[in-house]
Amino acid sequence: MPAPKLIEHPLVDCHLTVLRDKNTSSSEFRSAVNRLSTLLAYSATHDLQTTEKPIETPIQKMLGRQLLHRIGLVPILRAGIGMVEVMLDMIPTSEVWHLGLYRDEQTAEPVRYYSKLPEKAPVDVAFVLDPMLATGGSAVMACNALKKWGVPLIKMLSIISAPEGIQRLQEECPDVEIHTCQIDLMLNEDKFIVPGLGDAGDRIFNTTGQ
């Protein structure tokens, strides 16, 4: 099985520091998520296939390139929504399909409450978006749903990952590529990533005080 594709770059370290800081505001947190998602998008799209497209510049005719396949963005609700805008900026022709999953606090396992995948016409490549790959349960459930839909190539994009989540996803979905900015130490007894950044969804949507 392929090793996780880890983005090692000084800018990643700086933006991760902003994400981790408990004093970072929600707006600053979202901005850092956007910047790191841009770097993830660059990493995960490096092997997308293109085809020729005839165009005409103000000077002359030429052959450009355009994406060959249909691309699907699949954010895991709700934190994954924070990564969608950047991906759409990078790939404007992408389709966005949502999967709603929440973690059962008793079992730490995901429960699916929403799916908007059609029965036919799967995309050619799907990018599963979730800022945190913790236990791996939600990632596995999402990837299995996409496989059932018929998607031939799936890539998991997470800003921070735990070794336990990576191992589970690799064991249960060995053909799924993992792209991440950081692999942290471990999960704590509450199944949160250490040192992590807390609850990504709460910090993106400013609901930490709810």
CATH of the domain at 198: 3.40.50.2020
- For the chain, the straight-line distance linking the first and the last C-alpha, in angstroms and rounded, comes to 41
pLDDT digits (tens, 9 = 90+) for 72-82: 999 998 889 99
What tokens appear for 98 in the block? 């949502």
- The average pLDDT across 16-44 equals 95
Catalytic annotation, residues: 103, 107, 199, 202
CA dihedral 101, 90, 167, 12 (to 10 degrees): -110
Burial of 130 (0-12, 13-18, 19+ CB in 10 A): buried
Q: What is the number of structural domains in the chain?
A: 1
Q: Residue 33 — very low, low, confident or very high, per pLDDT cuts 50/70/90?
A: very high
Q: Please indicate, yes or no, if residue 19 is contained in any of the structural domains.
A: yes
| Residue 185 confidence class, pLDDT cut points 50, 70, 90 | very high
CA distances from 58 to 18, 61, 62, 100 (A): 43, 8, 11, 46
Instruction: Report the distance separating Cα 83 and Cα 73, nearest Å.
Output: 10
97-130 pLDDT, tens digit per residue, is 988 776 666 666 777 777 778 878 899 999 999 9
Inside any domain, residue 191: yes
Q: What percent of the chain has pLDDT over 90?
A: 80
pLDDT of 164 reads: 96
- pLDDT score at 119: 78
**Chain centroid offset of residue 42 CA:** 12
Q: Is residue 210 part of a domain?
A: no
Domain that holds residue 123: 5-205
Establish if 32 belongs to a structural domain: yes
Which residues are within 8 A (CB) of 101 and not within 5 positions of it... i.e. 6 or more apart? 76, 77, 110, 111, 112, 113, 138, 141, 142
pLDDT in tens, 122-171: 999 999 999 999 999 999 999 999 999 999 999 999 999 999 999 999 99
pLDDT above 60: residue 8 = yes
Task: Assess if residue 36 is contained within a domain.
Answer: yes
The answer to whether residue 133 is domain-embedded is yes
Residue 174 within any structural domain of the chain: yes
